[in-house]
Structure 1
Amino acid sequence: MKRLNICIDIDGTMTDPYYFMPYFNKYFNKDLSQDDCTTHRIDELYELHREEMDIFYEKEGEHMHRNATILPKVKEVFDELINYHNLYIVTARSERMAEITKEWLEKHDIPEVQLHSLGSYYKVDKAKELNCDVFIEDNPQNSLEIAESGIKVLLMDTNYNKTLSHKNIIRVQNWNDIKLHIDKLSKQ
């Protein structure tokens, strides 16, 4: 069994992919459902300008991230993987959210690993720096960039990434699927 370097996104991968929607719906007086969420671009989904997004995030970001719903089996699979592989959390969240992120991970008993808060959706350089073998991601743009750089991506299936395919992308439904695919990849 090969010890893999695994990079793991948080939002939409460890968290419910749609956890942000009640916050945006309330703040912007909308009534969108996860069925409406066919784009990963929240600004497009809610028809917002960048300035509106920035104001929202300044006011609601910490609360939203602090209370994000964790997906089933994240902790159990994380606990297993950490025994056999090198795990890194690589998130687009800004450094400003690093403490909130650490609190969220602790709250859910996720073992401590290196946290990389990039403040950018571009993750290829960090993945290469970490010699990433597998990246667990939900964002279609990130996934495609990572896959095109030669890194395997386990893509958490969501409404906003249904059309994405690439030879280096494996679509997964849940954390049990993630564990099965990592076990297969580590035996190759």
Structure 2
Amino acid sequence: MKKRLGIDIDGTVTRPETILPYMNKDFGLSLSLEDIVDYDLSLLVDIPASEFAQWWLNIEAKVYEESPLAEHVKDVLLEWEKLHELYFISARSTHLLAITENWFKKEGLPFHHIELTGSHNKVELIKNYQLDLFIEDKHDNAVIVHQECKIPVLLFDTPYNQQPLPQGVIRIYHWFEAKAWVKRWIQQG
């Protein structure tokens, strides 16, 4: 039976350290993924949050155009495309939809629908599309989606999402693990 799988983009489909080379270059830092223990990256630079936000606005399109794929994501998504409907829901700003769709096409990634929310609030879209499962990297999003939508959420492990998880939010470490989990979940029906 086909399931509707909801998938975040940044930090799940893309590598979670995607922004670090830009931060390191522009702010004279030498950060690695292990240094990112909070989702709020503005805490890592010695400038006001408003200046960091403006810096991000200036480079976000370039970052999204050049984002590297997470390891094995393409293999899993190509297989899932035949079995499920793939809905990508991201907090990216809505004006970046063409850039995002072009990146998916350039990378050869399948999708049935892409929705950019411009915020981290994904619950209403998940409910509207009647998604059966969601894949995320942001801890509080994962917890809220699970609690509000009553669906399982796979949370990709990163240094910035190490808070405890409620039952129903499952920590995973790579895309092949996500594939295996989804297969077991469907078989258990």
Cα-to-partner distance string for 1:38-79 (whole Å, 9 max, x where unaligned): 011112233553421332122211111111110121111111
Q: Secondary structure at the match of 1:70?
A: coil
Q: 1:23 to 1:148 in 2, by over 3 A?
A: same
1:9 counterpart = 2:12: no
Q: 2: distance between equivalents of 1:168 and 1:81?
A: 21
8 Å CA contact 1:3–1:84 kept in 2: the answer is yes
Cα-to-partner distance string for 1:127-146 (whole Å, 9 max, x where unaligned): 11111111010011111111
For 1:157, the equivalent position in structure 2 comes to: 157
Q: 2:35 is matched by which residue type in structure 1?
A: D
For 1:170, the equivalent position in structure 2 comes to: 170
1:146 counterpart = 2:145: yes
Q: 2:19 is matched by which residue type in structure 1?
A: F
Q: 1:105 to 1:164 in 2, by over 3 A?
A: farther
Give the 5 Å matches for 1:35-184. 35-46=34-45, 48-149=47-148, 150-184=150-184
Pairwise CA distance, 1:82: 1.4
Q: Which runs of 5+ in 2 are unaligned?
A: none
Q: 1:97 is matched by which residue type in structure 2?
A: L
Q: 1:61 is matched by which residue type in structure 2?
A: E
Q: 2: distance between equivalents of 1:136 and 1:54?
A: 26
Pairwise CA distance, 1:5: 1.2
8 Å CA contact 1:134–1:151 kept in 2: the answer is yes
Q: 1: distance between equivalents of 2:121 and 2:47?
A: 21
Q: 1:161 is matched by which residue type in structure 2?
A: N
How many residues are paired up?
Answer: 187
Q: 1:98 is matched by which residue type in structure 2?
A: L
Identity %: 30
Q: Which runs of 5+ in 1 are unaligned?
A: none
Q: Secondary structure at the match of 1:82?
A: helix
Q: 2:2 is matched by which residue type in structure 1?
A: R
Pairwise CA distance, 1:112: 3.5
Q: 2:173 is matched by which residue type in structure 1?
A: Q
Cα-to-partner distance string for 1:102-142 (whole Å, 9 max, x where unaligned): 11111110124211000001111111111111101001111
Query: TM-score, normalising length from structure 2?
Result: 0.93
Superposition CA RMSD, Å: 1.4
Cα-to-partner distance string for 1:153-179 (whole Å, 9 max, x where unaligned): 011111111223111111111110111
Runs of 4+ in 1 over 6 A off after TM superposition: none
Q: 1: distance between equivalents of 2:134 and 2:154?
A: 6
Q: 1:98 to 1:18 in 2, by over 3 A?
A: same
Query: TM-score, normalising length from structure 1?
Result: 0.93
Q: 1:88 to 1:47 in 2, by over 3 A?
A: farther
8 Å CA contact 1:92–1:119 kept in 2: the answer is yes
8 Å CA contact 2:146–2:168 kept in 1: the answer is yes
